[in-house]
Structure 1
Amino acid sequence: MEYLNCLLVIDDDHDIRLSLQDALEMEGYHVATASSGREALESLEHGLRPDLILLDLMMPDISGWAFRSWQRAHPEFASIPVVVVSGQGLSPPEVARLGVDGYLAKPLDLDHLLDTVARFVPPSHQPGVASW
């Protein structure tokens, strides 16, 4: 199932996931969420095609590192842009190794988050929700 301006937020922290979802939906994005790397993989395998993935790295089952490795190995998902959103400080070489399109450090600055997301997906200003 495809939505215009759809984002996938992958984070095991419920409060962060909900905060990101609320902020992004207020800007007019459709937001699907996943509480783990495994849940995100299942959503993609069942047809979710987000325009951008916001990816936490430190998760208990499948880490963001492992998710990204899987994504890059599957051509049907490899072209989906990814911005890492993590409290784990990453060096420029680590970001380059991940092959991601951006990196935002937690705690997040809302304006910086919205500016970064808008570089990849313009907001529609028509609030909506995608549930998965």
Structure 2
Amino acid sequence: MPSSRRVLLIEQDTAVRASLSAALAGRGAEVVVASDGADGLARLEDGAAPAVVLLGLRQPRLGSEAFVTAMRADPRFADVPVITMAGDGHHRHGPTPFDVDDVLALVLSLCDPDRHA
């Protein structure tokens, strides 16, 4: 069973990763960070299944599609929701290329303990 407040954040951009991690932690999420898809798979093996994976589409080693394929192949993670995100390189909303509040609302809605009942 997934940990209800655990979020696996996979993002290669250091500033985006730090901003999202801080924002999620500030809202009570247990954030596990990874710098790319290969690192993300390793983090999945390190602990309880996350409630949700927040995945940047551009990954330097193991791409996002390959990450999701590998994750879904493991029955422990087959039903974990994955939210993908991509920016255009222009950070209109501070350190992230998207509205962090919108992303937080979506991620935290998936962390609702009633969702896993």
Same fold, TM exceeding 0.5? yes
Q: Which moved more, 1:19-28 or 1:3-12?
A: 3-12
Look up the equivalent residue of 1:83 and give its one-letter code. Answer: I
Name the TM-score, length of structure 1 as normaliser.
0.72
Return the offset for 1:54: 0.0
Report what 2:105 is aligned to.
Answer: 115
Return the offset for 1:4: 4.1
Name the TM-score, length of structure 2 as normaliser.
0.80
Percent identity of paired positions between Structure 1 and Structure 2: 36
Report what 2:14 is aligned to.
Answer: 14
Alpha carbons 1:58, 1:64 under 8 Å: kept: yes
Unaligned runs of 5+ in 1: 89-105, 124-132
Look up the equivalent residue of 2:109 and give its one-letter code. Answer: R
Unaligned runs of 5+ in 2: 89-95
SS in 1 for 2:77: helix
Question: How far apart, in 2, do the equivalents of 1:46 and 1:24 lie?
Answer: 20
List 4+ stretches of structure 1 deviating above 2 A: 45-48
Question: How far apart, in 1, do the equivalents of 2:49 and 2:72 lie?
Answer: 15
Report the count of equivalent residues: 105
